[in-house]
Amino acid sequence: MSKTIAINAGSSSLKWKLFTMPQEDELASGVVERIGLNDSIFTIKYNNGEKYKQVVDIANHEIAVEMLLKQLTELKIINDFNEITGVGHRVVAGGEIFKDSALVTDEVVEQIESLSEFAPLHNPANATGIKVFRKILPDITSVAVFDTSFHQTMPKVNYLYSIPLEYYEKHNARKYGAHGTSHKYVAQKAAEMLEKPIEDLKIITCHLGNGASITAVDGGKSVDTSMGFTPLAGVTMGTRSGDIDASLLPFLMEKEGIESINDMIYILNNESGLKGISGISSDMRDLEDVEDTNERAELALRIFEDRVKKYIGSYAATMNGVDAIVFTAGIGENGPETREKVIDGISFLGVHIDGEKNNVRGKQRIISTDDSKVKVLLIPTDEEVMIARDVQKFSK
């Protein structure tokens, strides 16, 4: 019986879960926030409700990992480091190099760093997390799990942009997508809940959080997804614009006196979406609290729902049908109003929400009416357990 830790390293954070494998029992989870800043926050949850929290300056990821391993032993979650036999690292961009998860080697680390131009905020941090764990626990199985890998099954007709083909051939300019680990997990779980082989199903998975993406899963494979070359594309998100006419950028830059394209992209990534439309917040809950009295908040909510509906309709056409629609992630799991409005807007597909079943947050269940031709499922995502499973594959 081995223990595997799933790691999601950000530029100033480190999220993790520890599992007993292959049973997939979660032993503990936690996060280290504000790494490199004053008053870093170190949190561990364990023993079905117990919590350890410390606020202390943590200068870098190496110190964060050392603290994590030390506290796992002091809290008796593990007896010693040797109990951890595997570590899986979430990596955002795998480009066209990584079509599946990969056993970490020096070459793999170099390749992850070389792909940083596709995810400049994420890949360097992901690589840092890998290096730190390899230094502290050099002998354990170390696996990189890529957000983009699940989408490598997309056909060219769906991942190529209608720009000169040479740009793809020379610069790999194409759609890569994101949230692949989440989309893969909930699609597989949907097939289990429906008691049908995933190879026989056409599923549309809606990962709706502050970052949001929709994926068409045909026979268990991603055939199209809403995020593009970067996670800026697709549906309206918390602070990201989603799809936009590229010609609007120079127009706005001239009108607003924005001199740098990087500044314009920053606005599209950080000041747009629900936040930009509402002028209030990027958090769906804040907008729902005031939508009856604030027109901009209501407008932001309706635009978000509209963009999700459009992608669902588009992907039903892409697959020439749909058997199931899945909602997951923060908004998808905890937003019954959003789920209801989205499904009500595509009732022409023969899909209908059961109000009573839908009146729930974060619980796995079928929420469509019994007579719906298309089933609607609420499935809490678990990217960490998918990472642990991939580590297990390499540990056999």
pLDDT tens digits, 98-145: 989 999 999 999 999 998 888 777 788 888 888 888 888 888 899 999
CB contact at 8 A, 328 and 356: no
pLDDT at 92 over 90: no
**pLDDT tens digits for 200-230?**
999 999 999 888 999 999 999 999 999 999 8
**pLDDT tens digits for 188-208?**
999 999 999 999 999 999 999
Across 264-293, average pLDDT: 91
| Whole-number average pLDDT of the chain | 92
Cis, peptide link before residue 336, omega less than 30° from 0: no
Across 172-186, average pLDDT: 93
Q: Which residues of the chain form beta strands (DSSP E)? A: 2-9, 14-21, 25-33, 40-46, 50-56, 84-91, 102-103, 141-146, 202-208, 212-218, 221-225, 324-328, 365-366, 375-378
Q: What is the DSSP letter of 148?
A: T
pLDDT at 66 over 90: no
Tokens standing for 283? 């958090």
CA-based angle 251:257:262, to the nearest 5?
80
pLDDT at 38 over 80: yes
pLDDT at 247 over 80: yes
Across 149-155, average pLDDT: 95
In the prediction, which pLDDT does 315 show?
Answer: 98
Q: How buried is 168 (Cβ within 10 angstroms: 0-12 exposed, 13-18 middle, 19+ buried)? A: middle
CA-closest candidate to residue 341, choices 329, 355, 356? 355
Return all residues near 22 (Cβ < 8 A) that are at least 6 apart: 392
CA-closest candidate to residue 304, choices 209, 224, 368, 229? 209
Query: Which residue numbers are catalytic?
Result: 147
pLDDT at 395 over 80: no
In the prediction, which pLDDT does 11 show?
Answer: 66
In the prediction, which pLDDT does 235 show?
Answer: 96
Band (pLDDT 50/70/90 cuts) for residue 253 is very high
Q: How far apart are the C-alpha atoms of 131 and 119, rounded to whole Å?
A: 18
Band (pLDDT 50/70/90 cuts) for residue 231 is confident
Cβ count within 10 A of residue 167: 13
Report the relative pairing of strands 102-103 and 141-146 from DSSP bridges.
antiparallel
In the prediction, which pLDDT does 327 show?
Answer: 97
CA-closest candidate to residue 319, choices 172, 88, 155? 155
Q: How buried is 280 (Cβ within 10 angstroms: 0-12 exposed, 13-18 middle, 19+ buried)? A: middle
Return all residues near 331 (Cβ < 8 A) that are at least 6 apart: 208, 209, 212, 284, 338
Helix (H, G, I), strand (E, B) or coil at 98: coil
pLDDT at 396 over 70: no
The single residue listed with the structure tokens 């796995």 is 364
**pLDDT tens digits for 325-372?**
999 998 999 999 999 999 999 999 999 999 999 999 999 999 999 999
Cβ count within 10 A of residue 181: 28
In the prediction, which pLDDT does 1 show?
Answer: 64
Across 85-96, average pLDDT: 90
Q: How far apart are the C-alpha atoms of 335 and 375, rounded to whole Å?
A: 18
In the prediction, which pLDDT does 39 show?
Answer: 85
